[in-house]
């Protein structure tokens, strides 16, 4: 896939829909209609933002059948409704849903989380994703090789019978700290050659993260390309030789933590990973910030457990300066 990823997070969607509050409220919609499943989230967001009822449509790709799937009745002819879908794509879903509603005398407008170069319909409200591969939280697996292969080699794409989301889970893993112990940086600084030989002799961890090795797309390490031969030898010796190995190019990325984190994030996306397992908590946070829809897990080796890492910043809540005037002068500026 050549197009760069445009990650549309839940937070971005929430902020975008809220930014449309005045415009949507002025339309006089009787209800928001979510096309299941992708449009359901957006319809609920619109409902909460504007204060209108929410209902749902179900679309059967194989027969191009639109079904009113809600306890609410179909609005009367002449009512205005907002159809919500995740993507205004090249297929028939949005076109058929709009025609279904117009055939019942409804005034229809459309809102999609995104549209791109192939969109058959330019929505009334939508995020411009032309030139990008739009990736949503509920479709992070759509970027994986397995999903794209199943979509293109059969008629599953037309019927919608692609498979369950979890079937396409694809994992990228860190090396040092995940498969084997990570030597302290001081050891490398004291004597690099001795440290490298020591690392070569290390044994794999007995207890590793509980992932299915068949789902691992590759090992992504901050080790430089100059270490490839000895790294591949270690992987082969200990039964990991079949895993693709992605190593850092020092000419492009130095060994600073921020640069290494950005490199790992991009490497994981290129591999089509849905998850990435990282041994360093700070790098895990920065990887998540660089790839917001990647499920980043910090693996705490001593504790033998992992923790999902968020990409969100937290700025905290400052106490009022009036509560302690003297303390106000000691606080850092933000």
Q: How many CA atoms, within 13 angstroms, populate the side-chain half-sphere of residue 13?
A: 28
pLDDT score of 299: 94
Structure tokens at 318: 């400052």
Structure tokens, 261: 């984190």
Q: Do domains 5-164 and 171-309 have the same CATH topology?
A: yes
Alpha carbon distance 59, 159 (integer Å): 10
Contacts (Cβ under 8 Å, ≥6 apart) of 236: none
Give residue limits of the domains in the chain.
Answer: 5-164, 171-309
**Distances in whole angstroms, Cα of residue 8 to Cα of each of 13, 14, 113, 140, 256:** 7, 10, 8, 10, 28
Please tell me the predicted confidence (pLDDT) of residue 103.
Answer: 97
pLDDT at site 147:
59
In this structure, CATH architecture of domain 5-164: 3-Layer(aba) Sandwich (3.40)
Q: Classify domain 171-309 at the CATH class level.
A: alpha beta
Joined together, the tokens standing for residue 310 give 């968020």
Do 102 and 88 contact (CB within 8 A), yes or no?
no
Residue with tokens 């058959």: 120
In tens digits, what is the pLDDT along the chain, a chain of 334 residues?
578 888 888 888 988 999 999 999 999 999 999 999 889 999 999 999 999 999 999 999 889 999 999 999 999 999 999 999 999 988 899 999 999 999 999 999 999 999 999 899 999 999 999 998 888 887 766 656 665 565 555 544 444 555 555 567 889 999 999 999 999 989 999 999 999 999 999 999 988 888 888 889 999 999 999 999 999 999 999 999 999 999 999 999 999 999 999 999 999 988 889 899 999 999 999 999 998 888 899 999 888 899 998 776 666 655 544 444 444 343 333 3
Tokens, residue 290: 């660089």
Phi and psi angles of residue 253, each rounded to the nearest 5 degrees, phi first: -135, 120
Report whether 172 contacts 267 (CB < 8 A). Answer: yes
Q: Is 28 left (phi over 0), alpha (psi -120 to 50) or beta?
A: left
C-alpha to C-alpha distance for 226 and 251, rounded to whole angstroms? 11
Question: pTM for this one?
Answer: 0.64
Q: Indicate if the alpha-carbon torsion angle 46, 48, 53, 54 is positive or negative.
A: positive
**Which residues, in sequence order, are bridge partners of residue 277?**
173, 297
Residue 2, token pair as written in the block: 């050549």
Beta strands in the chain (DSSP E): 5-7, 31-36, 54-60, 65-68, 80-88, 107-115, 125-128, 133-135, 171-173, 216-224, 245-248, 275-278, 295-300, 305-309
- Which residues are CB-contacts of 182 (< 8 A; sequence separation ≥ 6)? 176, 279, 280
| Separation of alpha carbons 17 and 126, rounded Å | 10
Sort 114 into a burial class: Cβ within 10 Å, 0-12 / 13-18 / 19+.
Answer: buried
Q: What is the pLDDT of residue 174?
A: 96
* Closest listed residue to residue 283, CA positions, set 267, 294, 274, 296: 296
């Amino acid at each position: 896939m050549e197009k760069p990823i445009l990650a549309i997070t839940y937070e971005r969607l929430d902020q975008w829909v809220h930014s449309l509050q005045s415009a949507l409220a002025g339309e006089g919609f009787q209800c928001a209609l979510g096309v299941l499943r992708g449009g359901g989230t957006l319809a609920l967001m619109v409902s909460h933002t504007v204060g209108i009822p929410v209902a749902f449509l179900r679309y059967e790709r194989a027969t191009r059948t639109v079904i009113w799937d809600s306890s609410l009745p179909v609005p009367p002819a002449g009512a205005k409704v907002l159809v919500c879908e995740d993507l205004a794509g090249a297929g028939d879903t949005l076109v058929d849903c709009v025609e279904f509603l117009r055939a019942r005398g409804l005034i229809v407008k459309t809102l999609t989380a995104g549209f791109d170069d192939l969109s058959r319909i330019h929505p009334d409200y939508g995020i411009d994703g032309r030139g990008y591969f739009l990736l949503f939280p509920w479709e992070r697996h759509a970027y994986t090789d397995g999903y794209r292969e199943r979509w293109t080699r059969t008629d599953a794409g037309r019927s919608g019978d692609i498979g369950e989301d979890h079937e396409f889970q694809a994992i990228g893993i860190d090396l040092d700290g995940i498969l084997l112990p990570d030597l302290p940086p001081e050891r490398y600084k004291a004597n690099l050659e001795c440290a490298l030989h020591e690392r070569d002799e290390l044994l794999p961890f007995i207890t590793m993260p509980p992932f299915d090795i068949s789902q691992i797309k590759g090992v992504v390490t901050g080790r430089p390309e100059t270490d490839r031969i000895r790294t591949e030898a270690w992987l082969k010796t200990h039964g990991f030789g079949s895993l693709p190995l992605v190593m850092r190019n020092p000419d492009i990325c130095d060994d600073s933590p921020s640069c290494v984190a950005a490199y790992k994030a991009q490497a994981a996306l290129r591999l089509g990973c849905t998850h990435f397992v990282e041994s360093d908590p700070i790098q895990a946070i920065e990887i998540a910030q660089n790839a917001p829809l990647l499920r980043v897990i910090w693996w705490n080796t001593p504790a033998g457990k992992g923790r999902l890492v968020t990409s969100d910043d937290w700025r905290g809540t400052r106490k009022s300066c009036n509560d302690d005037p003297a303390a106000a002068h000691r606080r850092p500026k933000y």
